[in-house]
């Protein structure tokens, strides 16, 4: 479950070394009445990666089928990114209501607690939004428009390297197969793990829990911490990692962790291990969570325990061994062109375990389709994948973190502008945060951008556009930004790279 997602129906992000414009001769579309037992390309999974792969392959003239055993759109639309964003929106509204009195609205601060949240209505709003998003994506109609056969006959499995068997018993062969099966939440292998709730099942909770433990301080866990804390729940966050958001720039982790603490969240990073979950006494629905910290056992009582502890690819029941494919860390290893060890079988999105982001999956799917149909060498620019989360405050990043950049070149240049220096942040009373830009020692190319604060994701997305276009630092520094906006901080940070740079010390 990631916090951001992009959509695209083109393959302009891929770099193609060989790109003929039509499917090879002799492999035309299936004609009327022709058997549907063989395809040029067979796609397993109709999430973001599978949808993009199937449509792109069909656009190139291939005979294509896509098999989906569950809901179209994948996890992100149905139980991941979209529902999380709706919850984040609801949480923001609650926070805004609490501070409205400071703007002359009402006569006293609104003390909104968990008992004031209509949880069933919140869940209904989430589902309404998911339905609306799915209605505009119209995957089934798009498949039909380009001639893709959508197969809804249960799980698809490999019988051999060119043959797929469906739960219905139907057998299909294909010249190329693209695996786009997505992933699933991982439960810790500890006693009582079945008592925990995984992120995609949060909306199945019957009531809003008063006491919540979140295990895992990555993107998903951090966003759920913000949601439940904003709703008035007592939240405890646990992680074995030494800091929250380990994949983000360390300065971002510092600000987000400080914000959590200020919001009353009990943050426990660097714990020894999580030991067990046990059901409470008879007649009590509470859960006892036990963990080890600093060499001692600690136990807490919670109404819900959420395990946001990993997202392995959903490849266990695909019959990969029948196709001669092995897995590494629950994913299918691929080369830079998304080919597995069996060259005509591709794996993209969560299935290859690389970026685990919707925006990565879509472009990987298109690149794999081009490689399957055209025997091309299309790739995707993995260093230009912005990602972030809707916490309080928001955070985002693209490219190298400061730590990574300094490992490559200790003389790289860093400019950091606090949100407190930005007029718009002062106007909105959102002064916590910063934008950090990282450039090479010659101060020419932007190597990374990292932000925490209001609209951080949109700010980083704008920098990503500049990076993708190859805009140098001096050009970016001379861009005129509207006033007063959050994006104006980009110009401030770029200009900072051209003078004595600000140090990366941040006051959280």
Q: What is the pLDDT of residues 323-334, one digit of tens each?
A: 999 999 999 999
pLDDT, mean of residues 192-220: 96
pLDDT, mean of residues 269-276: 98
Sorted by sequence, the CB contacts under 8 Å of residue 214 that are 6+ apart come out as: 221, 224, 225, 228, 235, 236, 237, 238, 306, 308
Counting Cβ atoms within 10 Å, is residue 379 exposed (0-12), middle (13-18) or buried (19+)?
buried
Judge contact between 434 and 453, C-beta under 8 A.
Answer: yes
CA 207 to CA 197: how far, in whole Å? 13
- Residue 244 CA to chain centroid, in angstroms? 16
Residue 172 pLDDT greater than 90, yes or no: yes
pLDDT, mean of residues 223-230: 98
Q: What is the pLDDT of residue 504?
A: 47
Angle at 35 between CA 29 and CA 39, to 5 degrees: 50
Band of pLDDT at residue 500, cut at 50, 70 and 90: low
Give the residue, 140 or 383, on which the prediction is more confident. 140
Judge contact between 31 and 249, C-beta under 8 A.
Answer: no
Q: What is the pLDDT of residue 5?
A: 37
Residue 140 pLDDT greater than 90, yes or no: yes
Judge contact between 48 and 349, C-beta under 8 A.
Answer: yes
pLDDT, mean of residues 348-371: 94
Q: What is the pLDDT of residue 508?
A: 41
Residue 337 pLDDT greater than 80, yes or no: yes
Q: At what angle do helices 48-59 and 358-374 cross, to 10 degrees?
A: 30
Angle at 391 between CA 386 and CA 394, to 5 degrees: 50
Q: What is the pLDDT of residue 446?
A: 96
CA 3 to CA 23: how far, in whole Å? 36
Quote the percentage of the chain above a pLDDT of 70.
91
Band of pLDDT at residue 13, cut at 50, 70 and 90: very low
pLDDT, mean of residues 158-187: 96
pLDDT, mean of residues 414-418: 97
Band of pLDDT at residue 113, cut at 50, 70 and 90: confident
CA 489 to CA 449: how far, in whole Å? 12
Q: What is the pLDDT of residue 21?
A: 36
Q: At what angle do helices 456-468 and 488-497 cross, to 10 degrees?
A: 60
3-class DSSP assignment, residue 353:
coil
3-class DSSP assignment, residue 393:
coil
Q: What is the pLDDT of residue 20?
A: 35
Band of pLDDT at residue 284, cut at 50, 70 and 90: confident
Ranges of beta strands (E only) in 217-339 are 234-239, 266-269, 273-279, 287-293, 296-302, 304-307
**pLDDT, mean over the chain:** 90
Handedness of CA 13, 14, 17, 22 (dihedral sign): negative
Q: What is the pLDDT of residue 171?
A: 96
Q: What is the pLDDT of residue 282?
A: 55
CA 482 to CA 463: how far, in whole Å? 15
Q: For the chain, give the longest Cα–Cα distance.
A: 76
State how far the alpha carbon of 285 is from the alpha carbons of 177, 179, 192, 304, in Å. Answer: 46, 41, 14, 9
Sorted by sequence, the CB contacts under 8 Å of residue 508 that are 6+ apart come out as: 254, 255, 257, 258, 259, 432
Q: What is the pLDDT of residue 17?
A: 38
pLDDT, mean of residues 34-38: 69
CA 222 to CA 215: how far, in whole Å? 10
Q: What is the pLDDT of residue 8?
A: 36
Counting Cβ atoms within 10 Å, is residue 18 exposed (0-12), middle (13-18) or buried (19+)?
exposed
CA 213 to CA 430: how far, in whole Å? 27
Judge contact between 308 and 389, C-beta under 8 A.
Answer: no
State the pTM of this model. Answer: 0.89
């Amino acid at each position: 479950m990631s916090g951001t997602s992009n959509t695209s129906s083109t393959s302009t992000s891929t770099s193609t070394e060989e790109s003929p414009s039509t499917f090879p001769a002799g492999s035309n579309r299936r004609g009327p009445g022709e058997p549907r037992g063989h395809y040029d390309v067979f796609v397993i999974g109709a999430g973001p990666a599978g949808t993009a792969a199937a449509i792109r392959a069909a656009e190139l003239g291939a005979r294509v089928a896509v098999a989906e055993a569950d809901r179209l759109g994948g996890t992100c639309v149905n139980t991941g990114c979209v529902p999380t964003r709706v919850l984040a929106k609801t949480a923001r509204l609650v926070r805004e209501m609490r501070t409205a009195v400071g703007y002359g609205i009402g006569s006293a601060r609104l003390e909104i607690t968990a008992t004031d949240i209509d949880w069933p209505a919140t869940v209904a709003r989430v589902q309404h939004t998911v339905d609306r998003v799915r209605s505009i994506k119209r995957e089934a109609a798009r498949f039909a428009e380009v001639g893709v056969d959508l197969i809804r006959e249960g799980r698809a499995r490999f019988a051999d390297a060119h043959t797929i068997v469906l739960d219905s018993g139907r057998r299909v062969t294909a010249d190329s197969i693209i695996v786009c099966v997505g992933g699933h939440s991982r439960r810790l292998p500890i006693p009582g793990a079945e008592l925990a709730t995984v992120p995609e099942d949060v909306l199945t909770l019957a009531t809003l829990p008063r006491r919540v433990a979140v295990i895992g301080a990555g993107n998903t866990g951090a966003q759920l911490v913000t949601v439940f804390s904003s709703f008035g729940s007592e939240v405890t966050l646990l992680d074995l990692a030494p800091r929250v958001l380990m994949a983000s720039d360390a300065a971002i982790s510092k600000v987000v962790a400080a914000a959590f603490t200020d919001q009353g969240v009990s943050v426990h990073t660097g714990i020894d291990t999580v030991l067990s979950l046990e059901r409470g006494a008879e007649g009590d629905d509470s859960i006892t969570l036990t963990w080890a910290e600093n060499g001692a056992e600690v136990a807490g009582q919670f109404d819900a325990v959420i395990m946001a502890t990993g997202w392995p690819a959903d490849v266990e029941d695909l019959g990969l061994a029948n196709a001669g494919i092995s897995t590494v860390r629950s994913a299918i290893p691929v080369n830079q062109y998304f080919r597995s060890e069996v060259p005509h079988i591709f794996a993209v999105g969560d299935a290859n375990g690389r970026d685990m982001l919707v925006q990565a999956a879509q472009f990987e799917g298109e690149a794999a389709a081009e490689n399957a149909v055209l025997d091309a060498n299309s790739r995707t620019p993995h260093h230009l994948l912005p990602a972030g989360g809707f916490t309080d405050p928001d955070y985002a990043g693209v490219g190298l973190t400061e730590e990574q950049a300094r490992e490559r070149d200790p003389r790289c240049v860093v400019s950091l502008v606090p949100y407190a220096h930005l007029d718009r942040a002062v106007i909105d009373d959102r002064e916590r945060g910063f934008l950090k830009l990282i450039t090479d020692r010659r101060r020419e190319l932007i190597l990374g951008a990292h932000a925490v604060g209001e609209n951080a994701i949109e700010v980083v997305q704008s920098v990503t556009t500049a990076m993708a276009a190859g805009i140098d630092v001096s050009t970016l520094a001379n861009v005129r930004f509207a006033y007063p906006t959050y994006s104006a901080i980009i110009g401030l940070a770029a200009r900072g790279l051209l003078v004595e740079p600000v140090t990366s010390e941040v006051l959280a």
